[in-house]
């Protein structure tokens, strides 16, 4: 039989269905991953799975399920919180509705650069986010990169906030992003990642926003021809373990899992740099028009009411916002 990529995805889906039907076994861990094989996060998660399986001498057999076959991100967060899934790589965007502290990370332009984000997340402030996640049954062992997210669409290059006016833009599941797009005059639609491609082709959406690797691997670049470097969101992602799965481990195995999670984040961040470059090249070669945004301050100013509204609704988080802004 000729093996087509379609056959492989059918195999992946049936493997996942079998996995869902099986009762969870104490020594087998299932991990949720939204990205396809070869994506930087996938490679790092698979290395994590393999190393943990090997170093625990199969006391833990760890398997990653790619392409979001175990559900969309908001569902997977709930499943990991309840221990139905054992671990996952989550973006902090869709985490906001569940762990409200993490909304701070979704404030547009909160980090001045990717390096700034790494410094904050690897330090004492990052630990505060890990503590907030732990209260909701998610043990964040390390932080992955997800670059900077920029706007893309099927209609026109975006150079000024007014260029966003009237565009139907998909956002991740978080009201803050609805406020962000509305502050630019666009119409925001929260939608699961897996539904965006189809919605772009049918015109239900005019655009979305993401980093280069996701813009490329989701094939959105085939439909959305304009990618504009607004770089409005720099959001970290966690390698998170379900609290129940974590607590079931011996201290020795916890140490192995923690160590490998940290190694996975180092690997992911390295792969990210090269992966972003390769994705950038691929979309350029495919004819995507990329434009720099000269006056980013104009976009930043439009976010003032978003910040004001956020702080008014969450006064207890103001000091955290300030701590991040002044840590630069």
Sites of contact with ligand BDP (CB under 6 A): 34, 73, 91, 146, 172, 193, 210-211, 214, 237
Instruction: Report the nearest approach of ligand BDP to the CB of residue 213 (Å).
Output: 7
Q: Which is nearer to ligand BDP, 76 or 249 (CB)?
A: 76
Q: Which is nearer to ligand BDP, 16 or 249 (CB)?
A: 16
Q: Cβ distance 42 to 35 under 8 Å?
A: yes
Q: Which is nearer to ligand BDP, 56 or 236 (CB)?
A: 236
What is the C-alpha separation between 211 and 117, in angstroms, rounded?
A: 15
Q: Which is nearer to ligand BDP, 92 or 293 (CB)?
A: 92
Instruction: Report the nearest approach of ligand BDP to the CB of residue 48 (Å).
Output: 16
Residue 267 CB partners (closer than 8 Å, separation 6+): 43, 44, 47
What is the C-alpha separation between 273 and 275, in angstroms, rounded?
A: 6
Instruction: Report the nearest approach of ligand BDP to the CB of residue 240 (Å).
Output: 12
Instruction: Report the nearest approach of ligand BDP to the CB of residue 88 (Å).
Output: 10
What is the C-alpha separation between 262 and 141, in angstroms, rounded?
A: 7
DSSP state of 237: E
Q: Which is nearer to ligand BDP, 146 or 245 (CB)?
A: 146
Instruction: Report the nearest approach of ligand BDP to the CB of residue 76 (Å).
Output: 10
Q: Which is nearer to ligand BDP, 73 or 137 (CB)?
A: 73
What is the C-alpha separation between 326 and 212, in angstroms, rounded?
A: 28
CA dihedral 217, 222, 224, 230 (to 10 degrees): 40
Instruction: Report the nearest approach of ligand BDP to the CB of residue 87 (Å).
Output: 14
Instruction: Report the nearest approach of ligand BDP to the CB of residue 303 (Å).
Output: 19
Strand partners, 289: 226
User: How many CB atoms sit inside 10 A of residue 131's CB?
Assistant: 11
Instruction: Report the nearest approach of ligand BDP to the CB of residue 89 (Å).
Output: 7
Q: Which is nearer to ligand BDP, 95 or 120 (CB)?
A: 95
Instruction: Report the nearest approach of ligand BDP to the CB of residue 241 (Å).
Output: 17
Nearest to 259 by CA among 239, 275, 235, 236: 239
- Residue 283's region, left for phi above 0, alpha for psi from -120 to 50, else beta, is alpha
Q: Cβ distance 293 to 158 under 8 Å?
A: yes
Q: Which is nearer to ligand BDP, 103 or 210 (CB)?
A: 210
Q: Which is nearer to ligand BDP, 221 or 256 (CB)?
A: 221
Q: Cβ distance 321 to 123 under 8 Å?
A: no
Strand partners, 208: 152
Could you give the C-alpha distances from 167 to 161, 230, 295, in angstroms and in order? 11, 15, 20
Residue 7 CB partners (closer than 8 Å, separation 6+): 1
């Amino acid at each position: 039989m000729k093996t087509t990529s379609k056959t492989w995805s059918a195999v992946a889906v049936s493997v996942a269905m079998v996995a869902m039907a099986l009762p969870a076994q104490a020594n087998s861990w299932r991990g949720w991953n939204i990205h396809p094989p070869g994506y930087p996060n996938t490679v790092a998660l698979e290395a994590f799975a393999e190393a943990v399986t090997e170093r625990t001498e199969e006391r833990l057999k760890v398997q990653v399920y790619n392409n979001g076959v175990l559900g969309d991100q908001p569902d997977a967060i709930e499943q990991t919180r309840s221990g139905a899934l054992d671990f996952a790589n989550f973006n902090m965007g869709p985490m906001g509705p569940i762990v409200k502290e993490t909304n701070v990370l979704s404030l547009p332009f909160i980090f001045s650069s990717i390096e700034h984000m790494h410094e904050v997340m690897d330090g004492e402030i990052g630990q505060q986010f890990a503590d907030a996640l732990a209260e909701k049954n998610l043990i964040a062992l390390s932080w992955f990169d997800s670059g900077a997210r920029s706007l893309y669409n099927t209609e026109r290059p975006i150079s000024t906030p007014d260029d966003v006016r009237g565009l139907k833009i998909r956002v991740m599941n978080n009201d803050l992003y609805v406020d962000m797009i509305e502050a630019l005059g666009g119409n925001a639609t929260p939608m699961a990642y897996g539904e965006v491609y189809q919605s772009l082709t049918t015109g239900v959406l005019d655009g979305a926003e993401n980093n280069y690797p996701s813009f490329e691997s989701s094939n959105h670049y085939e439909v959305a021809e304009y990618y504009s470097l607004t770089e409005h969101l720099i959001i970290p992602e966690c390698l998170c373990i379900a609290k129940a799965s974590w607590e079931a481990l011996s201290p020795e195995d916890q140490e192995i899992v923690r160590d490998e999670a940290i190694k996975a984040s180092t690997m992911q961040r390295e792969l990210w740099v090269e992966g972003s470059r390769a994705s950038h090249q691929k979309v350029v070669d495919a004819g995507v028009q990329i434009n720099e945004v000269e006056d980013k301050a104009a976009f930043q100013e439009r976010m003032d009411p978003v910040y004001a509204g956020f702080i008014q609704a969450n006064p207890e988080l103001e000091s955290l916002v300030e701590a991040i802004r002044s840590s630069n």
